[in-house]
């Protein structure tokens, strides 16, 4: 009898331990997993030496994170995006397979200058979207964001990684 009581107490204490992590993937109504946004840093866009926009960014700087991108996302928080970092400047190509969001893709050269902007790219598209020139970074934001915020080719982008996420 003592063993039974001890086992019941252990089971009760284990079932009461902790709550699910805040950034755990959730299920949508159609039973698809949705991955939450993770703030890794901030990005500032400027024109004529004056910053006019700041965004929270999730950083994709590994092959795995770049390949996943914004797949399995149902939206982004206001003034946020995914910041892709490549090892070197080159012609970049992106596709929207398994991406449920319509996006703007902002291609950025190694010096921070916006090279080109591909706007209103539809979800699940399989064609490659090209940077149309050399770029080392790509910012993905929800479709229409570039137009609504007045982002232009030639604007400058600077980013800063949060100290708590360095090395991810």
| pTM of structure | 0.79
- Rounded (5°) CA angle 66-68-71: 130
pLDDT digits (tens, 9 = 90+) for 30-65: 456 778 999 999 999 999 999 999 999 999 999 999
| Mean pLDDT estimate for the chain | 84
Domains and CATH numbers, the chain: 21-165 (2.60.120.1140)
Query: Cβ-count burial of 43 within 10 angstroms (0-12 exposed, 13-18 middle, 19+ buried)?
Result: buried
pLDDT digits (tens, 9 = 90+) for 90-124: 999 998 988 999 999 999 999 999 999 999 999 99
């Amino acid at each position: 009898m003592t063993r039974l009581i001890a086992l019941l107490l252990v089971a009760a204490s284990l079932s009461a331990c902790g709550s699910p992590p805040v950034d755990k993937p959730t299920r949508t109504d159609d039973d698809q997993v949705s991955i939450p946004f993770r703030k890794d840093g901030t990005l500032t866009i400027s024109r004529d030496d004056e910053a006019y926009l700041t965004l929270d960014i999730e950083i994709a700087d590994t092959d795995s994170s770049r390949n996943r991108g914004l797949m399995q996302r149902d939206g982004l928080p206001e003034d946020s995006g995914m910041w892709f970092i490549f090892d070197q400047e080159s012609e970049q190509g992106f596709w929207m397979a398994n991406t449920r969001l319509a996006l703007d893709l902002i291609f950025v050269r190694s010096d921070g200058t916006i090279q080109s902007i591909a706007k209103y790219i539809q979800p699940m598209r399989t064609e490659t979207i090209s940077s149309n020139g050399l770029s080392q970074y790509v910012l993905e934001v929800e479709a229409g964001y570039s137009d609504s915020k007045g982002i232009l080719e030639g604007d400058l982008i600077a980013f800063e990684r949060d100290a708590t996420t360095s090395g991810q």
